[in-house]
Chain A
């Protein structure tokens, strides 16, 4: 048997190659099982980039579901709290062009806000507590509630359910700690040919 194979080099090569193929195939198959990645890593990566306000403005009940949806091909411009910088970051992660923010889902806010409960008016209905996605509201039935400002993501979700309208979204105060140098003013292009040909006059000139 072995002799007859050895006498036929083509058959020998065939057997050797097929044997190697089966061996490596088995090895790869084993490795794929053994080192299997649980979950979709791209979802995690997108979720990392989302601002985690859990506001639901994208139409999904939280940032993670939206990340999952993006991973399966949804538009990346539905997150107003993240704004353009988040869109850019996701675009560069997924290697797709970065679109502008979809106005349908809201506008990018200039200032971060936190919820504030006017405590005198609170009737203690606990509706806002149930609405808060990050458990940032403290209180009990028929007792005054209050927002833990440090934990509040400014998602707005508590404002709607309040039956007495005692929740305000207040802009976060910018103190010395938050302040940092502003960007220098963009200077006008001094050289005429550098200017973008926006207007007819510009082109004529």
Chain B
């Protein structure tokens, strides 16, 4: 028997797996309407490639992958696209997200599809592309696109392929029953994975020892295939990726690293079945095994469920007693989340629908103060300090939370399970993780805003400077132009022009004495003219006609008037001058 290692911590909750294992995997009637969410995986949501009213066949692609980390979606059955809109989806928030609704035509007609019988002759690239096009995302819970895990370009060659058949969470038996009934196909799927990864030296199927039937079903198929089935003692949570790797190989993955960095690939066993169907049968991922269990249901069993089947449809065919049901849980009792509505659809990661009675999962008791018992630290499979994390989470001390490796918490719920004070520890951690991620995002945004603000400031300053420079340049140009015109006319510089103008103005101004002399001269002139006119008139009196006399008289009068005007001007001037003088004296 292969050696296994023991992880720290862990708990042993009641398994409750037998209820759903009494019946083989069943099939549900095709629901009238199926709802396919565009985001069922980690990464970018798929991009719709059909229109409302369009007829689709089973397996037809209805949404394309967007970007590298994404998967396409396919029609789970034939029918008509009846709506593409936001609908409530299976998410802890109870929020809505874009979905494609298909109204089934009941015929369940497949689209033409063809697989590759001898995959060994195909290149890993082609097989990886088939897996990507089949829309396969990790079916264990996280929903990470499988093709990316298998893509070449790993830092180091993959030497270990680990198939996760642990299924450690209570109630869930989807993988268990799938192994029992489909062992041959699962092993074939593992063969495909091994071929894609270049035949790693170790291929390990990790399975808990509470599934003896499944182990027995696998054994005959692995006899001489180089695959070893490793069973180990049942303990929750052995199925966590890092936990399982440690159990099987004794290697502890450093915080924040992926298994591929240690030369390992870890794939859920349900995913290997989907990969086999995709490669060999050419069928995209449109259905999965989902456990329907809980005491509020009359029938507990596994169903091959079409992706997009409303939970209410499953319940309707499981003798569901709503009055007896304490809550609807998607996933298991440890890591699952309560559903706010039964209309949400089953997605690629839905391994269980749990409808427990009040006695099975009672309502949460009120949390009491932490008594520092330390049981959470003993239960933690990641060797963290849940108590410290709890304090820091309450204090919103993000630095210390990160220093205590909050992000290594796998949210398994073991600490909350053992807490005697019923403290919902995991919810505290989830909240803090969300807050820290939000703060990081805001930091990136604020840094970006700062950069833009600084650039804006710089731009404004530059604009101001440019304007100033332009103004200065214009002033200089104007001066130059002036100087050049002055040079052309022969005068000196601008200053010379100004002094010349001032001199002219000063020259124009006459002193009061000169003014008086000027007036006196004009009076003398006028007197002369009056005298001449009088003499002419006297000469003409003897021999001239009356007409001529009149003209001479008018000239005499004009000369007399001018004399008077000159005399009044002189008088005014003298008076003004006197006034000015007296003012100056004052």
- Proximity string of chain A (173-205) to chain B, C-beta cutoff 8 Å, 1 when within and 0 when not: 001101111111001111100100000000000
Residue in B424, B428, B453 with the greatest tally of chain A CB atoms within 10 Å: B453
CA A47 to CA B367, docked complex, whole Å: 40
| A176-B91, A180-B437, A188-B366 known; A134 vs B446 contact (CB < 8 Å) | no
Cα–Cα distance between A99 and B450 once the two chains are bound (Å): 25
A113 contacts partner chain B, Cβ-Cβ < 8 Å = no
Minimal beta-carbon separation of B225 from chain A (angstroms): 42
In the complex, what's the smallest C-beta–C-beta distance from A90 to chain B, in angstroms? 14
Q: Is the CB of B455 within 8 A of A135?
A: yes
Q: Which one, B424, B434, B454, contacts A184 given CB within 8 A?
A: B424
Say yes or no for B433: interface residue by CB 8 A criterion: yes
Contacts of A64 in B (CB 8 A): 450, 453-454
Interchain CA distance A52-B368 in the complex, whole Å: 40
Cα of A134 to Cα of B447 in the assembled complex, Å = 12
Q: In whole Å, how far is B446's beta carbon from the nearest beta carbon of chain A?
A: 4
Known contacts being A187-B368, A189-B369, A190-B368, is A181 close to B92, with CB within 8 Å? yes
Task: Find residues 141-172 in chain A having any chain B CB closer than 8 Å to their own CB.
Answer: 151, 153
- Residue of A52, A153, A189, A190 contacting most chain B CB atoms (<10 Å): A52
What residues of chain A lie closer than 8 Å to B578, measured between beta carbons?
Answer: none
Contact with B along A50-66 (1 / 0, CB 8 A): 11111000000011100
Which of B367, B427, B449 has the most CB atoms of chain A within a 10 A radius of its CB? B449
Chain A residue at minimal CB-CB distance from B435? A180
Minimum C-beta distance from A169 to chain B (A): 16
Report chain B residues within 8 Å CB of A189: 369
With a cutoff of 8 Å between Cβ atoms, the chain A residues found around residue B91 in the complex are 176, 179
> What string of 1s and 0s marks CB contacts (under 8 Å) between B449-461 and chain A?
1101111110100
B390 to chain A, nearest CB (A): 10
Interface size on B, residues (CB 8 A): 34
Q: Which residue of B97, B368, B453, B459 contacts A63 across the interface (Cβ within 8 Å)?
A: B453
**C-alpha gap A50/B95 in the complex (Å):** 32
B453 touches A133 (CB 8 A): yes
Min CB distance B368 to A, Å, is: 6
List chain B residues, Cβ under 8 A from A190: 366, 368-369
Contact between A176 and B369, CB atoms less than 8 A apart = no
A79 to B455, CA, bound (A): 22
Q: Which listed residue, A63, A85, A191, touches B450 by the CB 8 Å rule?
A: A63
For the complex, give the distance between the alpha carbons of A153 and B433 in Å. 24
Inter-chain CB contacts under 8 Å: number: 79
Within 8 Å of chain A (Cβ to Cβ): is B180?
Answer: no
Q: Is the CB of A194 within 8 A of B438?
A: no
Q: Give the nearest-CB partner of B393 in chain A.
A: A183
- Are B431 and A134 in touch, CB under 8 angstroms? no
A188 to B453, CA, bound (A): 46
Q: Which residues of B contact A52 (CB under 8 A)?
A: 446-447, 449-450, 453
B93 within 8 A of A: yes
Question: Is B529 close to A, CB under 8 A?
Answer: no
- Which among B433, B437, B456 has the highest number of chain A CB atoms within 10 Å? B456
Instruction: Tell whether, in the assembled complex, residue A184 and residue B369 are in contact, meaning their CB atoms are under 8 Å apart.
Output: no
Q: Once the chains bind, are A187 and B367 in contact (CB under 8 Å)?
A: yes
**When the two chains form their complex, are residues A153 and B449 in contact, meaning their CB atoms are under 8 A apart?**
yes
Given known contacts A52-B447, A187-B366, what 17 new A-B pairs fall within 8 Å (CB)? Answer: A54-B453, A62-B453, A64-B453, A133-B456, A134-B452, A135-B455, A151-B452, A176-B39, A178-B438, A179-B434, A180-B431, A180-B433, A180-B437, A180-B438, A181-B434, A184-B431, A189-B369
Listed A/B pairs (6) with beta-carbon separation below 8 Å: A62-B453, A63-B453, A184-B428, A184-B431, A187-B368, A190-B369
